[in-house]
Amino acid sequence: MPRLNVALLLLVLGALPAYAADPAADPVRLTLKDHRFVPDQITVPAGERFKIEVVNEDDTPEEFESHDLKVEKIVTAGGKITLSVGPLKPGTYRFVGEYHEDTATGTIVAAETPTKE
């Protein structure tokens, strides 16, 4: 077991530089209003780390949650959060406002960029 652990650690350490973040990139912006996301669909390039900014214009708190992205974060009434996400494989990723799951839903589409691969 410990030997496996060390091997794994070395393996992932080797992969480390591939995931360097780019803090300068502009965040994707989502606004919560009347317990809905605007926009409710965003497209991002696959294979890149990016930031999402969620602004809550409602007067009740919300929890931005995405099981697909493994993100769970409280956005207070009138508050704003920023999340770092990815790099994502191409595909569709759902997110919700957990406290109003019937209306506050949306998707992120990670699209392949031909030049990257």
Partner 1 sequence: MLASLLIVFREVLEAGLIVGIVMAATKGVAGRSSWILLGIGGGVAGACLVALFAGTLSDAMAGAGQEVFNAAVLAVAVVMLGWHNIWMARHGRQLAQQMAEMGTSVAAGRKSLLALAVVVAIAILREGSEVVLFLYGIAASSAEGPFALLIGGALGIALGGLVAWLLYRGLLTIPTKRLFSVTNWMIALLAAGMAGQAAVYLARVDVVPSWGDALWDTSAFLPDNGIVGQALHALVGYSDRPMGVQLVVWLTVLVALVVLGRMLAPRPRTPGTAVSARPVGETH
CA distances from 57 to 1, 15, 44, 60, 80 (A): 50, 40, 24, 9, 9
What is d(CA 95, CA 39) in angstroms, rounded to the nearest whole number? 12
Quick note: the x/- pattern for partner 1 over 6-45, rule CB under 8 A, is --xx--xx-xx--x-x-x----------------------
Q: Which of 29, 31, 55, 98 binds partner 1 (CB under 8 A)?
A: 98
Q: Which residues sit at the interface with partner 1, rule CB under 8 A?
A: 1-2, 4-5, 8-9, 12-13, 15-16, 19, 21, 23, 59-63, 67-68, 70-71, 73-76, 79, 81-84, 86-89, 98-99, 101-102
